[in-house]
Amino acid sequence: MKPIAVILSGSGVFDGSEIHEAVLTLLSLSRAGVAYQCFAPDRDQRHVVNHLTGEVVEGERRNILVEAARIARGEIKPLAELNTDEFAAVILPGGFGAAKNLCDFAVAGADCQIEPDLLEACRAFVAAGKPAGFLCIAPIMLPLIYGEGVKGTIGMDAGTAQAFNQLGGAHQECPVEGIVVDTEHNVVSTPAYMLAGNIVEAAEGIDKLVREVVSMCQK
């Protein structure tokens, strides 16, 4: 089968991709014998957070693509170069970067919008009828990509679930080790670190998601 595209949003849970989620996704794909290619937007992230203190570093700027390259060991391309025809599916790990750099949910809540470059990329996979996987907070974007009634999960958080439904989705509660599969829209989601207390808990749901996305590609 063709490779799977993995879209990252920086490097670090507070202002980019959740590193554990990203690495576990790549590990699961490799163990499944599926090639992958990482992508990230080539623009500045919303802000920079000191991961030791959790505080925003005023005046510092970092590029999403350059930061995400740390996770991908340099093997990454600008999101603008993602050609849907070359890939079987797409997966988006979570982390606050998904809610800050790929969309603005972290600041706008249920009034959020997806960044145009990410929306174009994701809708190209929808138009091609290809599967997708969304982890952690990334599923908050599903209603804006797939439209009214799409099923997805961010776990058990009532506030975020309410926002998901306000955006037009049909939120499904899901344990950390579980996945939600929307067969109509060809999309899979899992709570990951929205619920996970450690890397082992996160790994179980992520591995199930990857295996389900791969299975969808083979049908």
Cite the active site residues: 136
Most distant pair of Cα atoms in the chain: their distance: 49
Q: Are 52 and 93 in contact (CB under 8 A)?
A: no
DSSP 91: E
DSSP 103: B
Neighbours of 50 (CB within 10 A): 13
Buried b vs exposed e over 161-185: b needs ≥16 C-beta within 10 Å? bebbeebebebbebebbbbbbbeeb
* Cα distance between residue 143 and residue 65, in whole Å: 25
The counts of H helices and E strands in the chain are 8, 11
* Cα distance between residue 209 and residue 86, in whole Å: 21
Tokens 């995400």: give the residue: 68
